[in-house]
Structure 1
Amino acid sequence: RVMKLDLNDLLSYAKMVLDERDTWASVENFIDRNDDFVLWGAGSGGYEAKRAIEEKGKSIAYFVDSDIRKKGMVIGGKCVKHPSEISRIQNKVIISSHWFIEIARYLMQRFGLRFMEDFAYRPESLFRDGTGFRFVSCLEHNIDSFSEVLSILDDQASRETFYRVLKYRLFCFRPYLMGAQDLPFNSDSNRPFFSGRPYHYRNLVQPCPGDTVLDCGAFTGDNSVEFAEDVGMTGKVYAFEPCPRTFQCLKENILSLGLNGIVVPVMAAVSRVSGQLRFEMGDNPLGSRLAETGDIVVESVSLDDFVVEKEIKEVQFVKMDIEGAEMDALLGAKCTIKEYAPKMAICIYHQPGHLFLVPLLIKSLNKKYSLFVKHNSVFFNETCLFARCGG
């Protein structure tokens, strides 16, 4: 069955059912006006939610998790119960699990709980400006651009995924408005979050033997290693990572795996121009990024400059996952993209506007590009745009 993909209808519906209560602040207000909570989800999200709630002087009664292996565990002094052990709930509930849609339905059907009255969902803080009511404004002001992206995606699977990503961002604060068929990922909790390689799109967009790959945002090298397997001994992977502590891990991993002849670590941020930029290390290396208020200064390089400096004869594949700096990096690679038309895998989830800005920029640089979209996670993150010339 082909989905109806009308963004104007989606926007009208969102404006009808969403309001200011559907912002991140509403979740914080829910916590502020109550005192005792049950945390549904005993993973890393639950641990983080426990810390944040207790910092407000509130108390946690216990955790709930459907993973039978966690039954009876103690996390931060609080026990973990299985849903089968609970006949009624007297505390307010904070959903701290990735499977919030299924849990929300269960709470309403099994216990008659009301959303934002008896339970709430605490999403990733990174996306507080790109979800719910706030995303309505982004979609409304850029409806023509979003619609254009929907029209230029090259296959039905990509168009449906893109539509579902938008719907997911709109209704995440009211999960009961979405069915499993609406999600941009497989909601079977027995499946892993990632299926296959996140920066491959079917057999259409991926590195091939002998290719030169520019891996922008290499982190500790997990994807660089996969790319090295793709390109083989005759290929080359340049792995860009600006964070000093992460770069050291990247080098050690490359050396330990015997890939130092294929993967070349480059300690630099990829940006529009070469030079120096401020970089925010943060406590979590996964979230380190370029920022004007950054605590250190790092070297930056444009891909155009790098290709010329290293006398690279051809670039076949570019991957970017650089925490919101993708637009600047693409602008610093305009000559490379125009000359070599490399296949690309570009993350478009860090900023709401990147969902339309990145694909439209790539299409403007080379109209022959075919574009595809894949969503790799049960979070709001890991939406990736793929591009290749030749259909």
Structure 2
Amino acid sequence: MGNQKETAVRLLSENFTAVMEARSAWRAAVQQMFRDGEPVYLWGTGQMGQWAAHLVRDMGGQLAAFVDNNAVRWGTEMEGVSCISPEQLREATDPLVVIGVGMSGAAVAAQLADMNIRRVLDMPDFYLNSLFDDLRSVNPADVAARVERCFDLLADERSRDVLLAKLEGFFKFEPGFGNQKYYGEVCQGDQYFQDDIIRFTEASVLVDCGAYTGDTMEDFLRRGYPFRKYIAYELTQQNYSVLQDNIKNVHGCIGELLAYNCGVGERNEQIYYDDVVSASAISSVGTRGEIVRMDDHLQGEDVSFIKMDIEGAERAALRGAEQLIRRCRPDLAICVYHSISDLFEIPLYIHSIVPEYRLYLRHHTPVFCETVCYAVI
């Protein structure tokens, strides 16, 4: 344990301020490049590609074309932009390419290198440059102390490896194209359903916060685990409608499936949200929605498992579920990748609610996304 902890604390002590300044400057430089009219080629036409396209446009960029290895996509249009083949991309002069494919990002980066294309950004990795606002005004020594405490609380070596790898992915940073970081060495499958950590019984009541269209629910049902009730929360109306249809199409289910068209948070309130593909988040304007406090909304439920992937609202949702967690002591699977401080602050907060929890970190993609804190009694 000491080696990872000492390495992380030394990394923070040596790099904290310089890395945050360098990341801010690099993000500003790329944004300026976008605003100056630099054409952007976006590799990937799936959900991650659509998310990346939204971010490029949000930073003032103009998409020249989508690029995809799938020949079926060539010549089609998405969001008014044509998709071209990698061979057509070769015809562009020194193109700026943004990778938006997620799981296969490293393979695409290698393919672009073979094509001698050097101006490459992997959007999930570049997005890290926007995920540390809450660290700007804090004392680096205080952060190092919090990180050190988190290492001490983690239950196994794998968890400590994950925490160190994620911290190194942020604090070992050099600005420039083609410097994206991948996490294949700590990546593993079975997100949310780690058989060596989580168990389900015929009495299990699961709560899925950020259910999207039911992808986690479908994964759970496919595995054939026993359960009594599955409660899904989805904020966006569009996703909720698909989620309802998917629930209706489930046949032969041994447990009850329920869905609510609302998000979860610290208090019951009406909000607005930015409806972006699979990553909708609360905003000051946008589509109107409802947030509920789980302590109130699930007052009569004997909850045994809570999963959260709610675009950075996890801490607020946990605060709104403190009484529920203390009462039921459910297994938890909470995403901790929406800000850098989530990596250590969420495990520390879970420990403060129920000190008896054993805490694990697992990482489930080769890019920075999908790091999960598991807590079990």
1:204 aligns with 2:221: no
* TM-aligned CA deviation for residue 317 of structure 1: 0.9
CA contact (8 A) 1:215 1:239 kept: yes
Alignment pair present for 1:278 and 2:276: no
CA distance in 2, matches of 1:108, 1:14: 30
Corresponding residue for 1:160? 161
Selected match of 2:317 from 322, 326, 329:
329
Q: Is structure 2 residue 366 aligned with structure 1 residue 378?
A: yes
Tell me if the contact between 1:71 and 1:82 (Cα under 8 Å) persists in the aligned partners. no
Normalised to the residue count of structure 2, the TM-score between the two structures is 0.77
Q: Which runs of 5+ in 2 are unaligned?
A: none
Q: Deviations over 1:40-98 (max 9, x none)?
A: 73444667559958x968784x8776x4x549934645642359x96x98424324254
Tell me the secondary structure at the aligned position of residue 364 of structure 1. Answer: helix
Q: Following the alignment from structure 1 to structure 2, what is the Cα–Cα distance between the partners of residues 380 and 63? A: 22
CA RMSD of aligned residues (A): 4.2
Q: 1:366: Cα distance to partner? A: 1.4
Q: Which residue does the alignment assign to 2:279?
A: 287
Which sections of structure 1, spanning at least 5 residues, go unmatched? Answer: 114-118, 187-194
C-alpha distance in structure 1 between counterparts of 2:67 and 2:26, whole Å: 25
Give the residue type in structure 2 aligned to 1:305: D
1:150 corresponds to which residue? 151
Partner Cα distance (1:13, 1:351) in 2: 18
Asked if the contact 1:94/1:120 (under 8 Å) is kept, the reply is yes
Judging changes above 3 Å, is the alpha-carbon distance between structure 1 residues 147 and 176 closer, same or farther for their aligned structure 2 residues?
Answer: farther
Of 282, 304, 313 in structure 1, the residue corresponding to residue 295 of structure 2 is: 304
Deviation, 1:155, is: 0.9
Q: 2:97 aligns with which of 72, 94, 97?
A: 94
> Using a 3 Å threshold, how does the CA distance of structure 1 residues 100 and 139 change in structure 2: closer, same or farther?
farther
Distance 2:227 2:34 in 1: 56
| Higher relative contact order (Cα pairs below 8 Å, separated by 6+ residues) | 2
From the superposition, tell whether residues 139 and 278 of structure 1 become closer, same or farther in structure 2 (CA, over 3 Å): same
Q: 1:268 aligns with which of 253, 262, 265?
A: 262
TM-fit CA distance, 1:102: 6.3
Describe the superposition over 1:107-137 as per-residue Cα deviations: whole angstroms up to 9, x where unpaired: 7798595xxxxx2415248644227x99788
CA separation in 2, counterparts of 1:284 and 1:376? 22
> CA 1:20–1:212 in structure 2 vs 1: closer, same or farther (change >3 Å)?
closer
| CA positional deviation for 1:361 | 1.0
CA distance in 2, matches of 1:295, 1:347: 24
State the secondary structure of the residue aligned to 2:278.
helix
1:151-171: CA deviations, max 9, x gaps? 211111111111111222343
- TM-score norm. by structure 1 comes to 0.74
